[in-house]
Amino acid sequence: MGILLVLIALILIVGLYKPNFVSIQSLANFGARAAWFGIIALGVVFLLSMGEIDLSTGSIYAFTINASAVLMVDWAVNPWVAGIAGVVIGVALGGINGILCNVLKIPVIIITLGTLSAYRGLTLVVSGGGFIYGLPREDSFFTVLGAAPYGVPMVIWVFAAMTVILGIVYRRTRYGFVVRAIGSNRRAAEMGGVPIARIRLITLMLTGGLCGLSGMLTLAFFSTADPNLGTGFELLAITAAIVGGTALTGGRGTVVGAALGSLVIAVIGSGIVQFGIAANWSVFVTGVMIIVAVSLDSLVRRRQGREA
């Protein structure tokens, strides 16, 4: 409720001074921007709840877009098949992260610090370092996934659906319970027979798949591919999850909160532009939001500890 009230207040404040900000078109625009990294943030909730951080999500997102575009343009693969391949590639890259972590016994943040650059480098190799044009925009892949039913871009509809589905998975399934249990007390979970390595692999594959899904929706929306897409998305996704109420230290999270956190970040970014402030300030604000959210979470945990 807190993050929802913050979101509403931000929209009203900006809309009070810039009435065009609350138009359907404007709301749809910043909603779409939020959805592109927000879909990734939904998976980040599961990882943070386990006490893990994935820094390669932005690179996976970019690689799936460019790999699918190459399949469509250079290999003349059916766009729907190439789109499915993009999601599968995302799952595979997330799986590689998981396998490396399990085999080398290294935390996810260390492995993904390397794959962040490795996957981005592969993106530059696949794309040739430039934009990929000539996509078959008349195909139903683009006309359906790039459409805007009732004036709302398809990516927002998918974002909302995934929020509901993953919210149920997180709160109502054994998998979601185990994820939270690992983050709450990894040693106890391990002694209780929880297959931590397997759950971590599954969670990284889930996050990679969400990167691929978001990538395909982005490709359909813009009908072109850019190797620089997704730069900084890993931090935006983490910020959205933390601002939404997911604990950086693990054990507690909220999928709906991550979705609302994504919208808050998008509203702040759009509001900065609306007031004529340089867009680069949004990066600064994002960093401040992380510090504030983590500080508040730490204060709440210390208070709960004293009360216990």
Average pLDDT, 10 consecutive residues per value, the chain (308 residues): 84 86 85 96 97 97 98 96 98 98 95 97 95 95 94 96 98 96 93 94 98 98 95 92 88 94 90 77 76 73 67
Residue 249: its pLDDT value, please? 82
Q: What is the dihedral of CA 171, 254, 176, 205, to 10 degrees?
A: 140
pTM score of the predicted model: 0.94
Q: What's the token pair of residue 56?
A: 């390669």
pLDDT of residue 30: 87
d(CA 129, CA 115): 18
Instruction: Give residue 289's pLDDT.
Output: 74
Q: Maximum distance among all alpha carbons in the chain?
A: 63
Residue 275: the pLDDT is 78
Positive/negative CA dihedral, 301, 303, 306, 308? negative
- Say if residues 139 and 228 touch (Cβ distance below 8 Å): no
DSSP state of 225: B
Phi and psi dihedrals of 98, rounded to 5? -65, -45
Alpha helices in the chain (DSSP H): 2-17, 24-49, 57-73, 79-104, 108-127, 140-145, 154-172, 174-184, 186-191, 196-222, 233-243, 255-274, 281-307
The tokens describing 278, both together, are 């340089």
